[in-house]
Amino acid sequence: MSKNYTYDTQRAFDFLNSIGFVRMAGTAEELKAAEMIRDDMLAAGIDARIEDFTVQDVDVNTATLEVLEPYTASYTVTAYKGSGCADALEADFVYIEDAFEANLVDVKGKIVLVNGFLRLPLYKKIIEAGAIGFITMSGDMLDKMEESDLFTRTLRAPLRTLGLIPGANLRVCDAFDMVLRGASRVRLSVNTKLADRTSRNVVAVIPGTASDEEICFTAHYDSVEFSTGVYDNGAGSVILMELARWFAANPARRTLKFIWTGSEEIGLEGSKAYVRDHADELDKCRFMINVDVGGSVLGKELCSCTADETVTTFTDTFMKINGYAMKVDRDIYSSDNMPFADLDVPAASFFRVGAPGAGHIHDRNDIISLLSAKGLEKTILYVMDYADTLANAVVFPFERKVPADMHEKIDNYFYKKEQEEAKKKAEAK
């Protein structure tokens, strides 16, 4: 390690515990967490501000599901936010599993059940096959009923461009019951109305001493329904706070921008808003570092470089030279690095993956008791060392570019081709 870095893992852990409440996009709880991060940074003498942006939520969101044949029963469901509306839509029901061609031969005019939840390719298949409604499932067959949280999912904007049909989500145990008992006809009612909400990024800037180049850091602080989100990603947020304190006391050659993003969990909305609202500044950004999940007592360190091979080689070599145990690969990573990489800012995403059974995301089991101050320290230390090396490099060690093969993956991730096709179809009507 090149320097004797100062940081306080207990302070970081205590702050992580203090924001361990559900803080979904666009809610008062998300605002509370944003203000806590901002105020903590201001108290440390770091100029931090909150930047608002708009996200979509719903004002009305109700749904019911009844089986009509060959038995009668009602199941508790939640409506997909932004899906189509229907009042007592009655139709034949079919379980289409993962929607292979053989599953879709005869689904026109039917309400379909699919495994898991919807991504654009699956939704596109359902729409093109002529389904008039859809049902997804969540949870685990081994859940206790009192801990079997029924999530409210969202039909995101790229999917809505393909067309709107009513959709609902139900517990996997109820999906199991419907398939086991041979449900063949159902009645589905969905009422959902989109509405705008305000979400927030927290931004702090530490000016450089000898260069007009910049490095950006991101970590999202929002959580999902039912989850305190301390592992995903309160941990990344407090890691960035320790980095900001260090660099405020030890300014680097390059300007450093720390961005705690809101609404990452509903489609990277915070980082999308940041690159949109700061488009005139991004030419100066040579690199970005994203920290997403950390602090687990049992786990391992990984890094995914959304960049060219020189970044991967440099990062892997750096970790080995400095004795940090880490697997480094070159790929996309589903987090706030993506909007930056889409605009040719190379990115490195660092994450500490919990060992099987010892790290949970996106559910009620993301809890502080599975994390520790020592777990946070592992990530704080190597990210601080890595960032310090890049921030103070006399000559930046790699170009500001993202190669064509990586852009292809990024385009696929954002479903750009499918959205363009849907746009052309809509314009042709």
Same domain, 240 and 316: yes
What pLDDT is stored for residue 145 in this prediction?
A: 84
What is the rounded average pLDDT of the residues 144-152? 89
Inter-residue contact 173 to 73 (CB < 8 Å):
no
CATH classification at residue 355: 3.40.630.10
Same domain, 27 and 50: yes
**Residue 262 sits in which domain range?**
9-56+197-413
Residue 135 lies in a domain: yes
* Distance, CA of 243 to CA of 260 (rounded, Å): 12
Same domain, 303 and 211: yes
Q: What is the pLDDT of residues 17-44, one digit of tens each?
A: 999 999 999 999 999 999 999 999 999 9
Q: What is the pLDDT of residues 248-269, one digit of tens each?
A: 999 999 999 999 999 999 999 9
Q: What is the pLDDT of residues 195-226, one digit of tens each?
A: 999 999 999 999 999 999 999 999 999 999 99
What pLDDT is stored for residue 1 in this prediction?
A: 42
Q: Which of 183, 208, 237 is the last residue of a domain?
A: 183
Same domain, 219 and 151: no
Same domain, 163 and 223: no
Inter-residue contact 215 to 257 (CB < 8 Å):
yes
Please, which residues bridge with residue 73 across strands? Answer: 67
Q: Which of 183, 211, 246 is the last residue of a domain?
A: 183
CATH classification at residue 153: 3.50.30.30
Q: What is the pTM of this model?
A: 0.96
Tokens linked to 375: 């777990």
Inter-residue contact 193 to 59 (CB < 8 Å):
yes
* Distance, CA of 91 to CA of 57 (rounded, Å): 28
418 — pLDDT class (breaks 50, 70, 90): confident
Same domain, 177 and 201: no
**Structure-derived torsion over alpha carbons of residues 31, 36, 42, 48, reported in degrees to the nearest 10:** -30
Using CA of residue 11, residue 348, residue 25, residue 272, what is the dihedral sign? positive
Same domain, 215 and 356: yes
Q: How far is CA 285 from CA 77, 216, 281, 370, in A?
A: 45, 7, 7, 35
Same domain, 248 and 131: no
Q: What is the pLDDT of residues 321-377, one digit of tens each?
A: 999 999 999 999 999 999 999 999 999 999 999 999 999 999 999 999 999 999 999
Same domain, 296 and 409: yes
Same domain, 52 and 81: no
What pLDDT is stored for residue 115 in this prediction?
A: 96
Residue 426 lies in a domain: no
Same domain, 212 and 307: yes
Residue 190 lies in a domain: no
* Distance, CA of 86 to CA of 359 (rounded, Å): 39
Residue 192 lies in a domain: no
